[in-house]
Amino acid sequence: MIELQDEPAEERGRPTRERVYLYVREQILRGRFVGGSFVEEEQISSALGVSRTPVREAFHRLEAERFIDLLPRRGALVRQVTAQELIDLYEARRMIESHAISRICREEIPLPAEMGTILAQLDERPEGDYFGRIELNRDFHFAMVAAVGNVVLSELYQSLGARQQRVAMTAISTDPSRIARIRKEHHALIEALSEYDEAKALGILEQHLRPIMGVLSQLPNRTAPESP
């Protein structure tokens, strides 16, 4: 049986289905609802004091974002992050973020102040606050992509958000030493972008989004990337 956690007080003023969605999503990201386990509508409705209708609506949204799989007469199965999914996500992110970096450097697009603010907030976060860190990390990279002003590209990048969060949470939980390395790479990336040094920034991004074999080896359905 999955252990249920109290709902944060700040979420209680939101619409009911939004509360349910945020609650279940956070439990999955924090690893309280582990991959391969089932979450039942009755569990969530009882925990939050709501009817099953908003729970069902939240489950459908979570399924669309690939947090869960809805199985007839069995409930919601929490999806496991696989090694191939991690590799594929990093590849997609490299494509989008590399384009953003090239545009910023070649056109000398000013960096949004938000990136520096987020970086300062990341530096202040306790290293053990994985959930808070991945939320800020996503915002940091999205701010860079949004800086080029391509709305379609920004929306495409946003669509990766759910997978990005799950993969990031899995990678950091598997290898907490990545936190210090990620911090250094973020600072180096901002410095390179501020200098409009495209080659340097792209090199940092390539290192930043490189799948780590130590993490891949601990994920299900591991598919080793080809050797360079």
**Residue 115 confidence (pLDDT) above 50:** yes
User: Of 90, 100, 11, which Cα lies nearest the Cα of 58?
Assistant: 11
DSSP 32: S
**Residue 139 confidence (pLDDT) above 70:** yes
Mean local confidence (pLDDT), 91-118: 96
Res 168: pLDDT: 83
**Residue 116 confidence (pLDDT) above 90:** yes
**Residue 100 confidence (pLDDT) above 80:** yes
Res 222: pLDDT: 47
Write down the pTM of the prediction: 0.78
Q: Which long-range contacts (CB under 8 A, 24 or more apart) does 47-53 make?
A: 47/4, 47/7, 47/23, 48/7, 48/19, 48/20, 48/23, 50/16, 50/19, 50/20
Mean local confidence (pLDDT), 48-75: 90
Predicted confidence band of residue 214 (pLDDT cuts 50, 70, 90): low
Are 37 and 78 in contact by the 8 Å Cβ rule? The answer is yes
In the structure encoding, which two tokens stand for residue 17, read together? 């289905």
User: Mean of the per-residue pLDDT values for the chain?
Assistant: 86
Domains of the chain: 9-78 (1.10.10.10), 83-216 (1.20.120.530)
